[in-house]
Amino acid sequence: MQVVGYYENLKAEQRRREAFSEGPFVGVCTDGGWRVECEVKGHPCPALPDNSIYGLLRSWKFVKGTQEACAQIVNRLNDMVKENKIVLQEDGWWTTIEAA
């Protein structure tokens, strides 16, 4: 799983490539546990995902949890990007193919 600091600024292109080397979804540690965030074009740091992604997270019974649980979800979401089940929209947000 890719890990990014809470509100970490990823303006530096090298750090951005490193942070999203496995895909657009990353794990972020917050004071309330680990959560999933994603790359959004034009934003300097990862952001909370689109509602269609939250629907998936809820169906998988995950919104925030342990590092291990978050890693499994992040890896699963990034695999779905590779399988074109999650796509990048023109507005820069990642959504499920059903929501596209």
CA distance 23 to 94: 11
Give the rounded distance of the alpha carbon of 49 from its chain centre: 6
Could you count the other beta carbons within 10 Å of the beta carbon of residue 73?
21
| DSSP 3-state of 86 | strand
**What is the count of structural domains for the chain?**
1
Within 8 A by CB and 6+ apart from 79, the residues are 23
pLDDT tens digits for 4-43?
Answer: 666 566 666 677 777 788 899 998 888 778 889 888 887 7
**Structural domain range at position 31:** 3-96
Q: How many CB atoms lie within 10 A of CB 64?
A: 14
Q: 5-19, 66-80, 84-98 — which is least confidently predicted?
A: 5-19
